Structure 1
Amino acid sequence: MDVFDRLRVTATSDWARYVEHDFVRQLQTGTLPEAAFRAYLVQDYLFLIQFARAYALAVYKGRNLADMRVAQAGLSAILDVEMDLHVRLCGRWGLSAADLEAAPEHAATIAYTRFVLDCGASGDLLDLHVALAPCVIGYAEIATRIASQETATLSDHPYREWIMEYSGEPYALVAAAARRHLDALAARAMTEQRFAELAALFAKASRLEADFWQMALDPGA
């Protein structure tokens, strides 16, 4: 069992609330209201801006070139792939990249992204990557599960492009690299006593992910 699986086991209920949220279930079946998906995409674009800052912080905090290259790869995945996906998808509603960047941040977006940045600023590289893990690795898990269950109908699925992006091989490599890096960092800096602290960070990040899904279902809340 790698470090990520150990963290997930300690946060079983919080993890389930995140990866099995109503937003995810509706996304899988294609019944998610378009307005909810649009609200999610706009806020996730703003979310990614802050996560890019988190990966830039990880480059700064890297203790060696290997750490820095892992962080740089995560930063590139956000700036060069994920954000472009959001711009393409939002273009169907006439929203430009400038429109997305100018949108106000929802409280759920602020809560999660600033939590991650605070973990990185006040802690070390392991704290930061544990806080990032539910998002980075969880998206691959969610999209892969959806793609495997919806193969027969994915060709006309309304959210096919999002599903294919996060279930595809390029993003799977990003998620796999994140898992390996967690193991490498833990081998250098984790004790059993510290694991309990990291598990609490992971559980909170998972809860904040679930709150982010809920924000999209109730954007006016």
Structure 2
Amino acid sequence: MAAVDAPYGAVFAQWRAAAGPDWAAYTGHDFVIGLGDGSLPRSAFLHYLKQDYVFLVHFSRAWALAVTKAETLEEMRACAATVHALIDEEMRLHIETCAALGISEAELFATQEAPANLAYTRYVLDAGHSGDFLDLMAALAPCVLGYGEIGARLAPSGGPYADWIATYAGAAYQQTCAEVGGLIDRAVARRLGNAPQDSPRWARLCARFGVATRLEVGFWDMGLSGA
């Protein structure tokens, strides 16, 4: 799948480039291809949705943690807005889709986490607890911005997963991605200056982004395998 030029900020573009083939493995995964061409088995999609609902619960907590790690009111507001978007918008898609197939919200919340899900969510939360705001942003970025890139790429697709695609291709989510990308750019400049690549911290931030990207690949693998 060809790369998509998405306006998610300069730092994201550099982190994505540093991730190398892992980024292509994530955004061009067979699960993603199946969403786009409609070939993904419905059972795999439902398994993914249930796991992703639990993932979003923890992801929302990580963004709430970012509020406490922020250094400015602007950062606090941006992170709080992302929590709202996750809980009141993205999770609603999961609830509505599963409800139409007889799966209640209570059942979604009670879903037992798959090992790949647990590994990813705890990695992100640990990045926030053990590191600072930038560590947390680097761990969060592959999910938020990767889904935006995938949604933009799959936007022309129809088929059985058109509603899922429309959520991430839509103006609201794309605006969220642009805002998160801008938040990361400003946060990096505030803490590391205008040449962050010269900072001894840069390699560590790239590494955090890379680990989270590989964990995204594992999440798609889990979705396909149903385990």
Query: Do both share a fold (TM > 0.5)?
Result: yes
2:119 equivalent among 88, 97, 111: 111
Amino acid at match of 1:161: D
| 1:184 and 2:192 correspond | no
Deviation of 1:9 after TM superposition, in Å, equals: 0.7
Query: Which segments of 5 or more consecutive residues in structure 2 lack a partner in the other structure?
Result: 1-8
Instruction: Choose the corresponding residue for 1:214, options 204, 208, 221.
Output: 221
Corresponding residue for 2:47? 39
Normalised by the size of structure 2, how large is the TM-score? Answer: 0.92
Residue 202 of structure 2 corresponds to residue 195 of structure 1: yes
Instruction: Give, in angstroms, the shift of residue 93 of structure 1.
Output: 1.9
Shift of 1:92: 2.3
Between the aligned residues of both structures, percent identity stands at: 47
- Deviation of the 1:100 alpha carbon: 0.3
- Measured after TM superposition, the shift of residue 188 of structure 1 is 1.6
Which residue does 2:62 correspond to in 1?
54
1:83 aligns with 91
Moved over 4 A (4+): none
* RMSD of equivalent CA atoms: 1.0
Question: Where does 1:66-105 land on structure 2 (aligned, <5 Å)?
Answer: 66-105=74-113
* Separation in structure 2 between the aligned mates of residue 105 and residue 189 of structure 1, nearest angstrom: 35
Partner of 2:3: none
Residues 1:2 and 2:10 aligned together: yes
Identify the residue that residue 168 of structure 1 maps to in structure 2. 170
SS in 2 for 1:94: coil
Provide the TM-score with structure 1 as the length reference. 0.95
1:163 Cα deviation after fit: 0.5
Distance 1:177 1:130 in 2: 15
Aligned length: 214
